[in-house]
Structure 1
Amino acid sequence: MKRLSLALLALVTALVAEAHVPFLKPNQFNVTHHRLTIESAFTEFPFQADFAMDSPNFTITSPAGEVTAIKPIAKTKAAVYLEPELKEEGSYRISTGQRVGPVYKAVETPDKKLYFAADMKRVSGKPTTMNYYSYADTYIFKGQQKYKPVPLNKGLEIIPLASPNGVQLGGELSLQVLEHGKPVPNARIIVVTDNEHFSKRRMEDLYDVENVRPSNLHANQQGEFTFKPQKAGLNFLFVTVHHQLNEHLWESLNASLTLEVNLPPETANKP
């Protein structure tokens, strides 16, 4: 029993050694059949589920803007699964809502940057603590897209200003970063494509405040930015905002958005 306990402790330590980020992943964005499943998990490399992200605030927003709570239908160690029902044509927002996480040990550097998990080993500064908040969104549709932005105005959100299901390779999509309904000026948006760490050998921690990958985007003073996808398929947008609450406590607000980028019609059937 003692050996088993030590093994479990080692496993838990390994899981929290790196900074994980939240994501939602539908098995279909254009919903054409009833086998719709949405995966909710934390990861270091989207979209590979490392451990389950449950939330008391899962919601579905209908094309008419009606927000309804939804409950998971299954949970494993790696992921939580949702099966929302789409009753009408149009675009639907699936959201974890703001999920309150644990308080972590952290390091505050002299220039007011905040680090936790494995990042603490490579910086020096003042010991502090950090409360981690997660927020993940994705959009699916049935029939016509019929989209309008509907912020929940709680926590950190990445809100598409046009239909997120209409974005194509070679096109663009306007979005806005909001915190409690207000624009976040100059927000940094990390852009990741599915499995890119295999093709580009990228090892940067997505949460790292010093992450300067070339694909990063930055919002303007109104929190708005333009996403111009460089690869078709699953794309992951991620934002982090830090606030110091007092001398000993920070809060870390984290939001992600999963998008499906399609090929333009003229190239969709070409090899």
Structure 2
Amino acid sequence: MHKILLTIIACVTSLSAQAHVPFLKPNQFNVTHHRLTIESAFTEFPFQADFAMDSPNFTITAPNGTVSAIRPVAKTKAAVYLEPQLTEEGSYRISTGQRVGPIYKAVETADKRLYFADDMKRVTGKATTMNYYSYADTYIFKGQQKYAPKPFNKGLEIIPLASPNGLLLGSALAFQVLENGKPVPNARIIVVTDNEHFTKRRIEDLYDIDNVRASNIHANAQGEFSFYPQKAGLNFLFVTVHHQLNELLWESQNASLTLEVNLPPESQSKP
């Protein structure tokens, strides 16, 4: 086991010293024309693609619950692009599925907290390794928002409990964090708005387990939480859960959800 892990680590080329997070970004949430494109990438600043996030598990879940595979139509160094076909009216879940990433060097502190990338420089502890799993979702719709929660019950997921495409500024939406179909008690949800790093300086990265951003949300014992958006436009929710598998290896489960928050009807007609 020791030799296998060391061999894998030696073969992994670090993509960056920082901790990147996964996202999916549609060019349309309310799909009104055939030029639908969804961008898949890793980033430090949503929604700016740093490097491509490919996945063997891209899927689209139709309003009737049918799950179909999606194949990328293009790939650059920065992003992968999807062009799913919507065959009926209703809400669709676009997902990377659970994506197995590299094994990284990490540090385990005395209180059993796990750090990797740049975070390793500011803590002391014993050397260990971490397998990074990523999961990214977004929801789009055509016509009416026919929506029902459809968790995959595999890996870490952020599941909207009502239509995520009906979220308006000044309103709220309920979610549940699940891992392998079971609630994640007290999960910490990182909330980010598009381009917020241009308006305020961010001290910690999004992955940082010590992240104490004022916008953070903590779920209840059933993994449920309510999101009250503070800004219209693209919003990003992100969750991390760590598990120690053995003395040499941890796993880091990570899930993100991209949402569009619209202005309420009375504000849309104002200049």
TM-score category of the 2 structures, normalised to the smaller one = over 0.9
Distance in 2 (CA, whole Å) between partners of 1:190 and 1:184 is 15
What is residue 34 of structure 1 aligned with on the other side?
34
Q: Does the residue aligned with 1:215 lie in a helix, a strand or coil?
A: coil
| CA shift for structure 1 position 262 | 0.2
**Does 90-99 or 201-210 show the bigger shift?**
201-210
| CA shift for structure 1 position 203 | 3.8
- Describe how 1:106-255 pairs up with structure 2 within 5 A: 106-255=106-255
AA aligned to 2:243 is H
What is residue 58 of structure 2 aligned with on the other side?
58
Residue by residue, what CA displacement relative to the aligned partner does 1:149-173 show, whole Å, maximum 9, x if unpaired?
Answer: 0001110000000000000000000
What is residue 4 of structure 2 aligned with on the other side?
none
Residue by residue, what CA displacement relative to the aligned partner does 1:160-217 show, whole Å, maximum 9, x if unpaired?
Answer: 0000000000000000000001000000000000000100122420000000000000
Residue by residue, what CA displacement relative to the aligned partner does 1:85-143 show, whole Å, maximum 9, x if unpaired?
Answer: 00000000000000000000000011111000111111110100000000000000000
Q: Does the residue aligned with 2:165 lie in a helix, a strand or coil?
A: helix
Residue by residue, what CA displacement relative to the aligned partner does 1:34-60 show, whole Å, maximum 9, x if unpaired?
Answer: 000000000000000000000000000
AA aligned to 2:179 is E
AA aligned to 1:134 is S
What is residue 94 of structure 2 aligned with on the other side?
94
Coordinate RMSD, CA, aligned: 1.1
Q: Could you state the TM-score of these two structures normalised by the residue count of structure 1?
A: 0.95
Q: Does the residue aligned with 2:197 lie in a helix, a strand or coil?
A: helix
Distance in 2 (CA, whole Å) between partners of 1:260 and 1:233 is 5
| CA shift for structure 1 position 16 | 1.7
Any gaps of 5 or more consecutive residues in structure 2? 1-11
**Identity of matched residues, %:** 84
Q: Does the residue aligned with 2:120 lie in a helix, a strand or coil?
A: helix
AA aligned to 1:91 is S
Confirm or deny: 8 A CA contact 1:21 1:206 kept in the other structure: yes
| CA shift for structure 1 position 15 | 3.7
What is residue 6 of structure 2 aligned with on the other side?
none
Distance in 2 (CA, whole Å) between partners of 1:26 and 1:259 is 10
Distance in 1 (CA, whole Å) between partners of 2:235 and 2:186 is 21
Any gaps of 5 or more consecutive residues in structure 1? 1-11
Confirm or deny: 8 A CA contact 1:197 1:203 kept in the other structure: no
Distance in 1 (CA, whole Å) between partners of 2:63 and 2:163 is 11
Distance in 1 (CA, whole Å) between partners of 2:113 and 2:27 is 37
What is residue 270 of structure 2 aligned with on the other side?
270
AA aligned to 2:220 is N
Q: Does the residue aligned with 1:267 lie in a helix, a strand or coil?
A: helix
Distance in 2 (CA, whole Å) between partners of 1:103 and 1:15 is 12
